[in-house]
Structure 1
Amino acid sequence: MYDAIVIGAGPAGLQAALTLGRMHRTALLLDSGEYRNGTVEHMHNIIASDGTPPAEFRATARAQLAEYSTVEARDARVERIEGVVDDFTLELEGGSTVRGRRIVLASGVADDLPGVPGLAGLWGLRAFTCPFCDGHEFAGRDIGILGAAARTVHLVAMLSPIVRSITVFALDEQPTDEDRAALEAAGADIHSGLVRSVAAEADGARVTTTAAHVAVAGLFVAAGTVRQRASFAADRGLRMLPSGAIEIDDFGQTSEPGILAAGDLAHRASLPGPVASVIQAAAAGQMAAARIVQEFASS
């Protein structure tokens, strides 16, 4: 039986496994091969790794974990979690099982994009959601934002100091006069038509609307939603937050003893939502692993 089983091998899971390994606790890291930034070519806003391809980041982390004799990594998908604290059983794809005293959920979230033809093919390459991660790359250029949603005004305000111009493209209906005034005050132009499709064009993107074809350097999406990538939280009846994330305490503990969560699938109730950040995810993974180590040390 492992001291801890970490489900998910993004930044949160990798860091949790590393922390457990450094404290000589037996840990199994399970990697489904699915990542929120799987289509992204380069990560940004990560000190000492700014511009690193995510696949390279993960490969380096896996190589470093291999140096710790108490850590094992497997490419495997978890189907279900059974049992209770100190004796969990996880069924893996294919029917095999593994057992652990603690579980760290780090399987992350998935983005549900607006149903715009062509958008999925641009996601992570020329269409993004996080200005901290991808805004700087469009410095001094013209960009578009898909969706006149609630967060669009805030997104415009964050991107305005970086880019040359911002055009907001409505998806289903034009914004109200009040929303239009707020968007224009924040520094955006509102396109007159509704979006029909998007596509790659030269080193940017082309937005086809009911009124015209518009070329932009890149796109940010304001109208998408996120969901838990796996059903573990629902299956276990974990306490959830209005954001759709798992509720945790400062150390990653969920509402069920023995199950912790780290990364963008969870956050504290004091925050409005999870932070889509590699550094924040890794920090959460470290805290969850530290909680486990402390529990064993005090038992």
Structure 2
Amino acid sequence: MSPTTLHTDVAIIGGGPAGLQAALTLGRIHRDAVLFDNGTYRNAGVAHMHNVLTHDGTAPSEFRATARDQLAAYDTISVRDVAVTDVVQADGGFRLVLADDSVLTAEVLILATGVRDELPAVDGLDDLWGDLAAHCPFCHGHEFSGRRIGILGAAAAPHLSALLGPIASELLVLTQGEDLPEAWSGGAMVRDEKVLGLERHDGGIRVRFTEGSDEQVAAIFVSTALRQSAPFAERLGLELNPSGCVRIDELGRSSLPGVYCGGDMAHLPAHPMPMASVIMAAAAGQLAASGAQMQLMSAAH
């Protein structure tokens, strides 16, 4: 039996803030769209979102549930909890193959699949990630006000110390034996020994070294490398920025006509990295949906 094939105007892959906002934007103008959510999110390990106006301190799961409840009011929007396994160009649009073996075709594609953080290979860091270890002081710094904060890695020390200096009572830079950049201006304790491991201790983190005494900090901040969460940017041959994120223009358009991107997976070439926040992701989702609508309107004339 051949798989069932459905059709929609816009297929949205990704159920985080960017994808949800894209769906809402299209629903508001009664444009048919299907959002696919495979249940994996960059902030899955985070208990509370921050730096999100009217939602500061809200659990990400609550945010997503509220968004879905509101999307249910729009008859042209469908949300499916199923993974997309493949996307190809077909008949002037796109053909999506789903994990349940069904097939959907769409005129326009919005990718909001996000990125994954690649952490330094330090024992114990994975277990702390999203809780006592983070990469964004805007999202996680305030909760450690007046406490000692660690910075893991020499390269990001100038940037992170400048952001965290007004928050922390003291900063501890763990260089991992690397040289600090020329931009480093001091103002923090520095340990050059390699970190042997990190472990929860006394409400914070105990830092163990290959030699020398342990240190205690309330939290660890680290710069991460980014990789695409989904293979679709590579499969569709989308142009990437040096960061590994998809290169888009001011309307969220990728290098492939008909493919729009929003959220952490994409950014303008003028930016060195994505502006990783819930509000920025949602804004990018709205922009991508507006661009998709403009393309569909143009094709109709």
Query: Does the TM-score normalized on the shorter chain lie above 0.5?
Result: yes
The yes-or-no answer on 1:166 pairing with 2:171 is yes
Q: Deviation string for 1:106-159 (max 9, x for gaps)? A: 00000011111111110001000001111111111101011112x221111111
Q: What does residue 215 of structure 1 align with?
A: 216
User: What does residue 42 of structure 2 align with?
Assistant: 36
1:270 corresponding residue in structure 2: 270
1:174–1:194: 8 Å Cα contact kept in structure 2? no
Cα separation, 1, equivalents of 2:286 and 2:98? 25
What residue in structure 1 maps to residue 229 of structure 2? Answer: 229
Give me the whole-angstrom Cα distance separating, in 1, the residues matched to 2:255 and 2:90.
13
Residue 162 of structure 1 aligns to a residue in which SS?
coil
For residue 266 of structure 1, report the CA deviation from its aligned partner. 0.5
| Matched residue count | 292
- Counterparts of 1:135 and 1:85, CA distance in 2: 49
Alpha-carbon offset, residue 192 of structure 1 = 4.2
Using structure 2 for the length normalisation, give the TM-score: 0.93
Task: State the TM-score, normalized to the length of structure 1.
Answer: 0.94
Aligned partner of 2:142 in structure 1 is 136
Correspondence list, 1:72-151, <5 A: 72-84=78-90, 86-149=92-155, 151=156
Counterpart for residue 52 of structure 1: 58
CA deviations 1:272-292 (Å, max 9, x no partner) are 221111111100000110112
1:293 positional shift: 1.6
What is the distance in 1 between the residues matched to 2:200 and 2:27?
Answer: 44
CA contact (8 A) 2:49 2:57 kept: yes
1:84 positional shift? 4.1
8 Å contact from structure 1 (residues 156, 186) kept in 2 = no
**Identity between Structure 1 and Structure 2 (%):** 47
Instruction: Determine the structure 1 residue equivalent to 2:30.
Output: 24
Question: How many angstroms does 1:240 deviate by?
Answer: 1.0
Q: Which runs of 5+ in 2 are unaligned?
A: 1-6
The 3-state SS of whatever aligns with 2:74 is: coil
Answer yes or no: is 1:3 the counterpart of 2:17.
no
Answer whether contact 1:157 1:187 (CA < 8 A) is retained.
Answer: no
Distance 2:102 2:291 in 1: 28
- Matching of residues 182-193 of structure 1 within 5 Å: 182-183=183-184, 185-193=185-193
Question: Quick one: which amino acid aligns to residue 221 of structure 2?
Answer: F
Question: What SS does the aligned partner of 1:90 have?
Answer: strand
SS at match of 1:61: helix
Deviates more, 1:93-102 or 1:23-32: 93-102
**SS class of match (2:193):** strand
Structure 1: runs of 5 or more not aligned = none
Which residue pairs with 2:3 in the alignment? Answer: none
Q: 1:240: which partner in 2?
A: 240
Q: Deviations over 1:232-253 (max 9, x none)?
A: 1111111111111111111111
Structure 2 contact 198–205 (Cα < 8 Å) conserved: yes
Q: Secondary structure at the match of 1:3?
A: strand
Deviation at 1:294, TM superposition (A): 2.0
User: RMSD of the TM alignment (CA)?
Assistant: 1.4
- 1:87 to partner: Cα distance: 2.8
Cα contact 1:36–1:109 (8 A) shared by 2: yes
| Off by >3 Å, runs of 4+ in structure 1 | none
Cα deviation per residue 1:53-103 (whole Å; 9 max; x = unaligned)? 111101111111111111110111111111247531101123221111111
2:286 matches 1:280: no
